[in-house]
Amino acid sequence: MAVFVVCVALVATQAAGALKLLQDGRHSQLHSSIDSLIIGALIAGCAGYAFGFRKFLDLKHEQGRRTLAESKADWITYHDFLTRLPNRRFLEEKAPDIVERTFGEAGYGVLAFDLDGFKKVNETVGPDGGDMLLIDISKRLAGFLPESIALRLGSDEFLLIAGCTASNRCENCSDPQQALKLAEDLINLLNTPFDIKGSQISVGACVGLSSCPEHGLRLKDVVKQAILALSVAKRQGRNSYVEFQPEINEDLARRTRIERRLRNAVANGDIVPYYQPLIDLKTGEIIGFEALARWNTPEDGFISPELFIGIAENTGLISDLSEHLLRRACKDAMDWPKQVHLAFNVSPRMLEDRYLGLKIFKILGETGLSPHRLEIEITESALVRDTDLAAAMIQDLRGAGIRVVLDDFGTGYSSLAQLSALTFDKIKIDRIFVSGLEQDEKKSKIVRTTVALASGLGISTTAEGIEQESQLDFLNQLGCSFGQGYLFGKAVPQDQALALLGTDSASAPGLIRRVPA
C-alpha cells in the first residue's frame, strides 16, 4: 500500500515538472522528464496491480476464515461437544432429510434408550469419570452399527436410527422382530463393563422401539413413539425393552387422567393403607402387618399401586402421600395387640429428605405408637442414591428404637456392600426368589445362602410371596424366620385385620394359615 502511494506521488511530481518545462519552453529537458514520467507510471501501475492482488488474497483468506468459523459454529449448534454425537436440534432440523435420503422407502427403526445407574457411576468415579463413560459409549455406538445415526439427546439419553442398510446382520431393520433383536444386542453392548479410571463399570439400559413405516411415516412421530415405549420400559426395570404399541397411547392417557385426580386423592385421604399379615413361620402367629397403599376409585375401581406410586414420585406428591399413610397406619396399629408391629415401606424419593426421621418421630408422637412397634423397610435401590445420608437416617431410626429392614434383597445394587456398610435388623427376601424356588436350583441356592448369611450376621429374615405349603416347608427347613404371601392372607382393610387378630383377645396375636374367605 505504501509503495503504491509513493509511486503515485512520484508520477504526479514528474507530471507537474513536465508541464512546467513545457510552459517554460525548455524542450530539451522535456523529453527526459517525459521518459521519467512513463517509467513512473509503469511502476505505479505494477504497484497498483500488486496492491490489488494482495487485497484479493486478503479478502479470499478472510472469506475462508469466516466460512470455517461458520462451519464450526454450525457443528457446535448441531452436535454434543462431549461425545461429538448429533444432538436434539440436529434431530429436529437436519435428521428428517438425511434419514429420507439414506433409508428412503426401505424403512428404518428408532431405538430410544437411556442408561441404568448413571448417577451411581458419577458417585463412584466422579463427574469426569461419568464423562469418560459417555465418550466410551459413543465410541461403542459408532462401531455397533456404522451406517446408523446415533444421537445424544440429554444427560444419559440416546437415540439410534437404524435402517435396513445399517448392518448385514438383518435383512430389514424396520421389521419389528429385527428391531427387537437390535435392542437385545444394544443392551448386551452396554452391559459389557467399561474400564473407567482402572475400575470396571457396568451400566444397563432401557430401550424403547418404533419403526417406519409400521408405526409412522414422519421421523418426528416415530421418535415420539420410541420415547413413549422407553417410558414403559423404564417402569419395567433395568435392561428392559419395549416396542411401541397403540395401547401405550391409551396407557399414557390413563396415566394423565390419574395424575390429574391424584392430587385431590392425596389431599382428601382417599388413598388408604391395607394390611398384609406377617407370620412367624414356625408358629403361624401373626407378628405384624405390612401397610400397603390402596386407592379405590368410582371410575376405575382399584388402581394399581405400581401405577399411582410411580406417578406420586414423579409429581412430588410421594412425601405427602406417605406421611398420610403412615399416620393412618400408626393410628390403626394402636388398636392391635401390643405384640403386633407395623411395617412401612419408605419410597426412595423420601429417603432423600434429610428431615424424614424427624417427620417419622413426629407422627409417632401424634399417634402414640411406640417406636419399638414400627419397622421401616428400605429398598436397595433407595440406598444407592445417597449412601451417607441413608447411613445417617438408619442410625437415627435405630437409635430411637425403630427397626430397619432391607427390602427386596438381591434385586438392587451391591447387596453385600449394603450389608457391610449399613446396619439392619432384618432382611426381606424378594418374591422373585421365593417363586419357584423348589423347581429352580439357582433360586433355592440364593434363598439358602441369604438365610445363612443373615443368620451369620445375627439378622432375621422375611420371605415375601409365599403361596404354597411346600414353599413354607422349604423355608422352615432353611431356618427362615418370618414370611408373608397369599398363603397367609392378602392385604385387607383395618376391620378385616382386626378380625384376623381376634378382637376378643387383646393380649395375644391371632393365628392364620390360609387366605381368609
196 and 281 belong to one structural domain: no
**DSSP structure string for 72-129:** HHHHHHHB-TTT--B-HHHHHHTHHHHHHHHHGGG-EEEEEEEEESHHHHHHHHHHHH
226 and 126 belong to one structural domain: yes
Q: CB–CB of 488/279 below 8 Å? A: yes
**pLDDT for residue 486 is more than 80:** yes
**pLDDT for residue 367 is more than 60:** yes
Q: How confident is the model at residue 498 (pLDDT cuts 50, 70, 90)?
A: very high
289 and 186 belong to one structural domain: no
The pLDDT assigned to 517 comes to: 36
Q: How confident is the model at residue 214 (pLDDT cuts 50, 70, 90)?
A: confident
**Residues contacting 65, CB < 8 A, separation 6+:** none
**Residues contacting 493, CB < 8 A, separation 6+:** 272, 274, 275, 294
Q: Is residue 487 part of a domain?
A: yes
Q: Is residue 24 part of a domain?
A: yes
Distance CA 177, CA 136 (A): 28
Last residue of a domain, one of 229, 244, 259: 244
Q: How confident is the model at residue 385 (pLDDT cuts 50, 70, 90)?
A: low
329 and 439 belong to one structural domain: yes
Q: Is residue 515 part of a domain?
A: no
398 and 360 belong to one structural domain: yes
Distance CA 351, CA 322 (A): 11
Q: Is residue 457 part of a domain?
A: yes
Please tell me the total number of residues recorded for the chain in this structure: 517
Q: What whole-number percentage of the chain has pLDDT above 70? A: 77
The one-letter code for the residue type at 369 is L
Output the average pLDDT for the chain: 81
**pLDDT for residue 9 is more than 50:** yes
The pLDDT assigned to 504 comes to: 45
For 501-514, how does the pLDDT look when each residue is reduced to its tens digit (9 = 90+)?
985 444 445 555 44
Quick one: 371 exposed, middle or buried, by C-beta within 10 A (0-12, 13-18, 19+)?
middle
What pTM was estimated for this model as a whole?
0.64
97 and 72 belong to one structural domain: no
Mean pLDDT is lowest, of 43-47, 284-288, 293-297, 308-312, for 43-47
Q: CATH number for the domain including 196?
A: 3.30.70.270
353 and 456 belong to one structural domain: yes
Q: What whole-number percentage of the chain has pLDDT above 90? A: 33
Q: CATH number for the domain including 466?
A: 3.20.20.450
Last residue of a domain, one of 76, 110, 134: 76
Q: Is residue 512 part of a domain?
A: no
The pLDDT assigned to 513 comes to: 47
The pLDDT assigned to 271 comes to: 95
**Residue 511 corresponds to which cell in the numbers above?**
393365628
- In which order are the strands placed within the sheet that holds 149-152? 149-152, 157-163, 108-116, 204-212, 241-243
Distance CA 208, CA 486 (A): 34
214 and 321 belong to one structural domain: no
Q: How confident is the model at residue 11 (pLDDT cuts 50, 70, 90)?
A: low
Q: Is residue 250 part of a domain?
A: no
Q: How confident is the model at residue 65 (pLDDT cuts 50, 70, 90)?
A: low
Q: Is residue 511 part of a domain?
A: no
For 234-278, how does the pLDDT look when each residue is reduced to its tens digit (9 = 90+)?
888 788 899 998 888 888 888 888 888 998 999 999 999 999 999
Q: Is residue 479 part of a domain?
A: yes
For 398-412, how does the pLDDT look when each residue is reduced to its tens digit (9 = 90+)?
999 999 998 878 765
Distance CA 215, CA 223 (A): 10
Parent domain of 31:
2-76
Range list of β-strands (E), 260-331: 272-280, 286-297, 301-303
Quick one: 145 exposed, middle or buried, by C-beta within 10 A (0-12, 13-18, 19+)?
buried
Last residue of a domain, one of 56, 76, 96: 76
Q: How far, CA to CA in Å, does 492 sit from each of 249, 273, 276, 294, 373?
A: 33, 9, 6, 10, 20
For 302-329, how does the pLDDT look when each residue is reduced to its tens digit (9 = 90+)?
898 988 998 898 888 999 999 999 999 9
Q: How many separate helices (H) and strands (E) can be counted in the chain?
A: 18, 16
Which of the pair, 105 or 151, is modelled with greater confidence? 151
**pLDDT for residue 67 is more than 50:** yes
**Residues contacting 201, CB < 8 A, separation 6+:** 121, 124, 125, 129, 133, 193, 194, 195
Q: Which of 129, 244, 284, 241 has its CA nearest to residue 194? A: 129
For 90-99, how does the pLDDT look when each residue is reduced to its tens digit (9 = 90+)?
999 998 998 8
Distance CA 130, CA 120 (A): 9
Which of the pair, 168 or 351, is modelled with greater confidence? 351
370 and 490 belong to one structural domain: yes
CA dihedral sign, ordered 506, 511, 515, 517 = negative
Which helix (H) or strand (E) segment is 420 a member of? Answer: helix 415-421
CA angle 486, 444, 281 (to 5 degrees): 45
**pLDDT for residue 210 is more than 80:** yes
**Residue 51 corresponds to which cell in the numbers above?**
496492491
**pLDDT for residue 384 is more than 80:** no
328 and 457 belong to one structural domain: yes
Domain count, the chain: 3
325 and 444 belong to one structural domain: yes
101 and 71 belong to one structural domain: no
The pLDDT assigned to 223 comes to: 92
Mean pLDDT is lowest, of 149-163, 167-181, 467-481, 491-505, for 167-181
The pLDDT assigned to 353 comes to: 82
The pLDDT assigned to 404 comes to: 93
